Structures are given as C-alpha cells and as structure tokens.
Amino acid sequence: MMRHDELLFATLTVLVAVVAAATVTGLVRRFVLARGMIDVPNARSSHVEPTARGGGLAIVTVVLAGVSWSWVRGEMEAPLALGLILGGGMVAGIGLLDDLGHVPAPRRLLVHVIALGGALAGVGGLPEVQWGSASVDLGLAGDVLAGLACVWFLNLFNFMDGIDGIAASEAAWIAFAAAGLASATDAPRALVSVWLLIGAASLGFLTWNWPPARIFMGDVGSGFLGFALALLLVYSTGCSGLTVWTAIILASPFIADASVTLVVRVTRGERWYSAHRSHAYQRLSRQWRSHARVTGLFLAINMVLVLPAAWVSVFRPELGPGIALALLLALGGAARAAGAGRAEPTGDAS
C-alpha cells in the first residue's frame, strides 16, 4: 500500500496531469478549428454536429512529457520509457496523419505491428501465465500471442471510439483501476505513476469530450491510448500482482463489444475494417438518443462488475481464467442482445 508521501505524490501527479491535459486540449481545439480539421457527420457517423477532431494529441503530449520526465529522473526504466515514447510516438504519428487526411489501413497496421513488436521486445514480452495454481511459461508462442493480442487491442480501442466520452472514460477507468490494483500489490512506484498519468490525461481530455463533445479524440489519441494501455497491461503482469486475466477483465466491456461485432460482421461476409455503426454501444446510443447514457452504462458496468472481478483475479489468481471467461461470455451475450454486428437497415442513419 502507498505511504503518506507516495499518496501525496500520486495526488499531485493526477491534479497536474488533469489540468495540463484540459489546458492543452483547449489549445489543440483552437488550433484545429483554425485549420479546418472538422469531423463532418455522414451516414456512418454517430454525431450530428460538425466537431473538431484530433484532440487526443493533448493526451499524447501530456503522457509522453510525463514519461520523459520520469525517465530523465531515473524513476522509470529505459525499456518501458523508450517503448512508450518511441512506439507510442509512432502510433500517434500515423494516427495524426490519418486524422489530417487518409492513411491506408495496411500501412497503419504495419506501423502498429512494428511499434508494438519493438516495445514488447524491449520490456521482455509476456511473462508466465497463471493457470489455476500453476504458472505456465509459454515462451516464444506466448510472446507472439501477446503481440497479436496487443495489436487487436490497439485497433479495438479505435473501433470503440465512436460516441462522445466512451474511449476517454474507458481509458481513464482502466488506468486508475490498474494503478489501484498495482499499488495494492506493492508494484514499482514508476508503474503506478504512469498508470495515474494516463488516467489523469484521459480525464483532462474528457472535460472537453464528455457529451456533447466539443472535440473528438481522433486516431492520434485512440491509437496512442490503445498502444499505451496494451503495453502497460503486459508489462504490469511481470512486475505487479496483475495477471493476464486481470488485464483481460479490466478491458472486458470493450473487448466483448468489439469482438462480437467483428465476428458477426465477418461471418456475414463484410470487410472487418470498413466503417460502420453496428457496435452495441452505437446501436444503444441511437436507440436511447443519448451518448451520455451509454457512456454512463459502460462506467457502471466497470464499477459494479469489472472492478470486483479484477480485484478477485489479483488476490485469488487461480480464479482468474474462469472469471475472465465468464465475464467475456456475459458481456458478449449482452452485446449481441443489444444488436452488435447486426446489419443496419436502410435509412438507419439518424
């Protein structure tokens, strides 16, 4: 558990990062509006008003500045710091180019693979996986699986950034929950600090992005957050009480919705990477005519179901696999019941 001085430092980190991210987001919004970086609604949009995009650049700026400062002061190990700075910078850069114009999906995917591959290699890949009462070292196969899972997680974060507030609030939730769980297991201070930094930066951006959003995150932000969260979740399993199953549980609402939607659409013969509005959260936002209610629903699921499940997976790791599977099945079933992946009827563009 945190000592008094560590708690004070953590509180200051959060306050400074929230204010910095909110301030930089305002500056970015002014900049992009002046240059016409506007997301104009179309038939595949979930918003109805032209809105500035690219606000995730503020999150990238604050997080990478904090990571750089921690590394320079000798608090964060070089492999993790460089993975976040170089790999995260690559992902954010290709995302920004896509926000400015258009980057073909294969090219973006290649950058994601290179960035994640290098970062994961730097931090040592996937450590042992807890299975029941035993720990299993999957070796190279585990590293490959971790890489593929991280690439999928990075892209699903982009897929799930489709209504006001949902991606930023989910990132803040995962980061703060991971920070709390890591702190409870005496994880390194630098790890807890970077989790808090990401959570606070997301929260600062959310002051502009909460429904009705005044600026969108854009690929620069969603890609970076997906990358940073994926890398840190893998890294945390090797130096804190978080397990692979804890990582899956923490992100389970996003994993379930995105995965079910993908499977249904691919089964129907659609291109998985094409634009659409058939995620469960998008369907609910149209049915309820409210982005805030859907974003609030995801936060409620996290607090009521996900947090207790994640806590048990940390302190009773032998239960982790069963809890993760049960939660994914339950949330996946709920997403399917809400219409995840269902073909959009003609005229369903309101």
In order along its 350 residues, the chain shows pLDDT tens digits of 556 667 777 788 899 999 999 999 999 999 888 887 787 665 555 666 778 889 999 999 999 999 999 999 998 999 999 999 999 999 999 999 998 888 998 999 999 999 999 999 998 877 777 776 667 777 777 888 889 999 999 998 888 988 999 999 999 999 999 999 999 988 888 999 999 999 999 999 999 999 999 999 999 999 999 999 999 999 998 787 888 999 999 999 999 999 999 999 888 888 766 778 889 999 999 999 999 999 999 999 999 999 999 999 999 998 999 999 999 999 999 999 999 988 765 444 33
**Two tokens at 274?**
């094409």
With respect to residue 173, please indicate whether it lies within any of the assigned structural domains. Answer: yes
Amino acid residing at 227: F
With respect to residue 93, please indicate whether it lies within any of the assigned structural domains. Answer: yes
Residues 180-221: tens digit of each pLDDT: 999 998 888 899 999 999 999 999 999 999 999 999 999 999
With respect to residue 343, please indicate whether it lies within any of the assigned structural domains. Answer: no
Residues 135-171: tens digit of each pLDDT: 777 777 788 888 999 999 999 888 898 899 999 999 9
Paired residues of 52 in beta bridges: 38, 215
Number of domains in the chain: 1
With respect to residue 243, please indicate whether it lies within any of the assigned structural domains. Answer: yes
With respect to residue 342, please indicate whether it lies within any of the assigned structural domains. Answer: no
Counting other chains too, the contacts that 260-264 makes at CB distance below 8 Å and 24 or more residues apart are 260/332, 260/335, 260/336, 260/340, 260/341, 261/159, 261/335, 261/340, 261/341, 262/159, 262/341, 263/341, 264/336, 264/340, 264/341, 264/342
How would you class 65 by CB atoms within 10 Å of its CB: exposed for 0-12, middle for 13-18, buried for 19 or more? middle
Contacts of 209 (CB under 8 A, 6+ apart): 25, 55, 164, 165, 168, 215, 216, 217
With respect to residue 45, please indicate whether it lies within any of the assigned structural domains. Answer: no
With respect to residue 323, please indicate whether it lies within any of the assigned structural domains. Answer: yes
> Which residue segment(s) compose the domain that 311 sits in?
4-38+50-337
Average pLDDT, the chain: 89
What's the predicted TM-score (pTM) here? 0.91
With respect to residue 171, please indicate whether it lies within any of the assigned structural domains. Answer: yes
